[in-house]
Structure 1
Amino acid sequence: MATTSRDVALHAGVSRSTVSEILNGRGAKFAAATREKVEQAARELAYQPSAAARSLVRGTSDLVIALIPDTTFGVNLQVIFEKATEELAEHGLTLLLRLSTPSAQMFDRLISTASPRGVLSFIPFLEREQEIMRSRGVQFFSSPPSGDRRDVNYDIGRLQVCHLAEQGHHRVAYARLRDTRQDVFGDEREAGVRDECQHRGLPEPRILELGVSRAESLAVMDSLEDTPVAIACYNDDTAAAVLTAGILRGRRVPHELAVIGMDNTPLSQIFVPRLTTIDYPAGDAAHATVAGFLAAITGEPVKESDLHFPLRVIKGETT
C-alpha cells in the first residue's frame, strides 16, 4: 500500500496540514526542526507526494523550466543539466529543458501552458521575460542573477589575462566567435579581459572575431603584427583554431604566440603543444544555480558557500 501524507504526519508527530505545507514548498513559516522532522519521516517512509494534488494546491506543476542558450550543447552544458536534473529531483521537481527564444509571445505561451513551479536560466533574463513571469506569479532565478554584470564569465576573462601576464606576456588579444549563437558569454568575458588589461597597465586588447575554420583562423593570424602576442580565447575550440593557424604560419609557441582557452575539454589536453586552459567546474555551477533557485521558491536564504565555485588555470605548453 502506498504511503500517504497521513502516515507521514503520524510518523513525524505533526498534523497532516503541516506535512502538506512543508512538502509542498511552503515550509518557511515552520521551525527548522519541524521541517527536518517531516522531511526525515517522508524519506524513511519513501513517501511520494501526488503531483496532481500539489498542482491543484499551488496552481502550478512540479516542472522547472531551464532555458538553454541557443549555443553548441557541449560537455559542460551536459554536465550542468544532468546535475541540475538530479538535484531538483531530490526535491520532487522535474527539469524541462527549453531553448530560449527572443519572442516574448512564445515565452508567455510557454509559461501559461506549462504553469511551471519556476524557471531557471544560465544567462540573465530579458526584462520582458521577467515581467511575464512576475505577472503570472512564477519564481525565476538566473545564474548570474539578472543585472549582475560581474559574473563568472567576467572572472574568466580576468583570470586568463592574469595568467598571461604572470607568464611574462604583455600584449594581449581576445579571440571570440563571430556567430553570436555560439558566443553567448563573449561580452562578459571580453569585459573581463579589457578590465584586467587596464588594471595591469597593459595596452588595450585587440578583439579578434572568427569562426572555427582554417580559412578564418589563418585570416585572423595574418591580420596580426609580427610582434609576440598572447591570445585569450572564448573557449577551447577557438583556442585550437588560433593555435593551429599560428603553427601553420610558423609562429613559435609560446614565445611568439601564447594561447589560453576555456573549458578544459578532453581534447585540449591532447593538443600538441598541450593547451593551457581554464577549468570550469560544471557540477559546482549547476549546484550553485539550483541552490539559488530553491532559495527563490522557498523563501529560505541560500548559503553563501553554495553560490561560489573555483576557477583554475590548467597549465599547458601554450603560455
Structure 2
Amino acid sequence: MTITSHDVARLAGVSQATVSRALRDDHRVSAATREKVRRAAQALNYVPSEAGRTLSTRSTRRIGVIVTDLTNPFYPHVVAPLHDELQALGYRMMLITERSDEAVAGENLLDQSLDGVVLATATTESRLPAQLDRRGVPYVFLNRDTGQPGDYASVVDNEGGGRLVAGVLAELGHRRIAGIFGSPNTTTGRDRELGFRLALAEAGIGLPDSRVVRGAFEYDTGYEALPRLLAADEPPTAVFCGNDVVAIGVLNAAITAGLRVPDDLTVIGFDDLPMADWEVFRLTTVRHDLRELARQAARLLVRRITGEADPAGERLILPTEFVPRATHARLT
C-alpha cells in the first residue's frame, strides 16, 4: 500500500494542501500545525515525492556547483562547508566537474533541473554567467568573480592581501622581490598581483618583468618558476606566491636548488590551507576564512533564489590577515 499526502492529511486533520506546505516548512502554516503534520507523516512512514514537489513548486531544491580544477587542494576545503550550509538551508548540492566552464554542457544547467548555480572557478572570460543570466538561472561566484558591478559573489580581499605581503617584505628589508602570480584572467590572480605591486611601489621597490611569473594556481607553476627566477643576474631574496599550492612548489624547488628557506630565500603564500601549517612546511602565508567564504556564498545564492538579494548585486568581501610562520626572515 502506498501512503500519500492525502493519508497524512486525514491523520493530521488538515487539508492536503496544508500537508504540502507544512512539509516544505512554509511559514504560512503555524509551527504547531507543521509539527502535527510531521508527526503524522512519521507515523505513516510517508516520504514526499520529490518529482511531485518539483511539479507543484517548480523548485528542485538542487544547487549545481561548478569546479573545473579538482586537483587543486583549495577546492575540497570550500566544497565541504558549501555542501553543509546548503543542506542546512534545505538544498541538495550537485558537484559538476569539467576542465573548463566552456566544457560544461549548458543545457544540463539550464533545463530547470537546478534552482541555482555556484561558479567556483570562473574566469573573467567565461561565457557561462551570461548564459545563466539569459535563462534566468540564479548564480553566485565563489572565490573568483568578474570584478564587474552587478556580480553576486563571495570573495576575498585579494588586493588587500597582496598589500599585506608587500608591506611585510619591505619592512624585512627585501628589495629583490619576485612574484609568482595566478593567471591574469582570474580575479584572484589579477587582484593579488595588483595589491602587491601598488604597495611595493609605495615603498619605493620595483617589480621588473624579469622577476614575475604567471601561471595556473598549481604546484608545478611554483616548482618550475623558481629555477627561472634564480637564473637571473640578480636573483630574488623573497618570493610572493599567488596561493599556498604554488608556494609549496617553490619550497620544494628551493630544496632541489640547495637553498635554505628562509635563510637564503623568503617564501610567502596565500589562502592558509590546512597543509600550510603542517610541520613539514610551516608556510608563512595570508589567511582568510575558507569556511565562511563558502557559507556566505550558499546564503547569498539562496537569497537570490528567493528574491531577497539586492537586485543591483552583492559582492561579499572577506578580510585577510598575515600569518607568520617559518618561511620568512629579515634580509641580513
Partner of 2:299: 291
Residues 113-157 of structure 1 deviation map (CA, whole Å, 9 limit, x = unaligned): 462111111244766323322333321111358432694144432
Cα displacement (A) at 1:110: 1.4
Check the 8 A contact 1:239/1:259 in 2, yes or no: yes
Partner of 1:158: 163
Structure 2 CA distance for partners of 1:107 and 1:191, relative to 1, 3 Å: farther
Residues 74-129 of structure 1 deviation map (CA, whole Å, 9 limit, x = unaligned): 1x321311211122122331111112565758532212446211111124476632
Q: Distance in 2 between matches of 1:189 and 1:36?
A: 50
Task: Write the letter of the residue equivalent to 1:111.
Answer: L
Q: Distance in 2 between matches of 1:273 and 1:103?
A: 33
Check the 8 A contact 1:22/1:38 in 2, yes or no: no
Q: Secondary structure at the match of 1:223?
A: coil
Check the 8 A contact 2:22/2:34 in 1, yes or no: no
Cα displacement (A) at 1:194: 2.1
Partner of 1:167: 172
Q: Secondary structure at the match of 2:238?
A: strand
Mapped pair 1:193 → 2:188: no
Partner of 2:93: 95
Unmatched tracts of structure 1, length 5 or more:
28-32
Check the 8 A contact 2:116/2:138 in 1, yes or no: yes
Unmatched tracts of structure 2, length 5 or more:
none
Check the 8 A contact 2:272/2:285 in 1, yes or no: yes
Check the 8 A contact 1:177/1:238 in 2, yes or no: no
Q: Secondary structure at the match of 1:95?
A: strand
Cα displacement (A) at 1:174: 1.0
Task: Write the letter of the residue equivalent to 2:193.
Answer: E
CA RMSD of the aligned region, Å?
Answer: 4.4
1:57-96 pair list within 5 angstroms: 57-70=56-69, 72-74=71-73, 76-96=74-94
Q: How many residues align?
A: 305
Q: Distance in 2 between matches of 1:295 and 1:107?
A: 26
Cα displacement (A) at 1:289: 0.8
Q: Distance in 2 between matches of 1:60 and 1:220?
A: 53
Partner of 2:227: 218
Q: Structure 1 stretch 41-50 or stretch 169-178: which is displaced more?
A: 41-50
Q: Distance in 2 between matches of 1:63 and 1:240?
A: 36
Cα displacement (A) at 1:22: 8.6
Task: Write the letter of the residue equivalent to 1:239.
Answer: A
Partner of 1:30: none
Check the 8 A contact 1:5/1:20 in 2, yes or no: no
Q: Secondary structure at the match of 2:127?
A: helix
Partner of 2:246: 238
Mapped pair 1:260 → 2:259: no
Task: Write the letter of the residue equivalent to 1:63.
Answer: R
Q: Distance in 2 between matches of 1:262 and 1:176?
A: 10
Q: Distance in 1 between matches of 2:275 and 2:191?
A: 25
Task: Write the letter of the residue equivalent to 1:65.
Answer: G
Q: Distance in 2 between matches of 1:242 and 1:301?
A: 42
Check the 8 A contact 2:180/2:225 in 1, yes or no: no
Q: Structure 1 stretch 40-49 or stretch 267-276: which is displaced more?
A: 40-49
Residues 232-281 of structure 1 deviation map (CA, whole Å, 9 limit, x = unaligned): 11223322332344455555644552110123345434466732122342
**Structure 1-normalised TM-score?**
0.73
Partner of 2:207: 204
Q: Distance in 2 between matches of 1:118 and 1:231?
A: 39
Check the 8 A contact 2:178/2:240 in 1, yes or no: yes
**Structure 2-normalised TM-score?**
0.70
Cα displacement (A) at 1:290: 0.5
Partner of 1:118: 116
- Identity, in percent, stands at 27
Q: Secondary structure at the match of 1:84?
A: helix
Q: Distance in 1 between matches of 2:29 and 2:169?
A: 50
Task: Write the letter of the residue equivalent to 1:187.
Answer: R
Structure 2 CA distance for partners of 1:145 and 1:186, relative to 1, 3 Å: closer
Structure 2 CA distance for partners of 1:40 and 1:112, relative to 1, 3 Å: same
Q: Distance in 2 between matches of 1:135 and 1:36?
A: 38
Structure 2 CA distance for partners of 1:140 and 1:173, relative to 1, 3 Å: same
Check the 8 A contact 1:77/1:282 in 2, yes or no: no
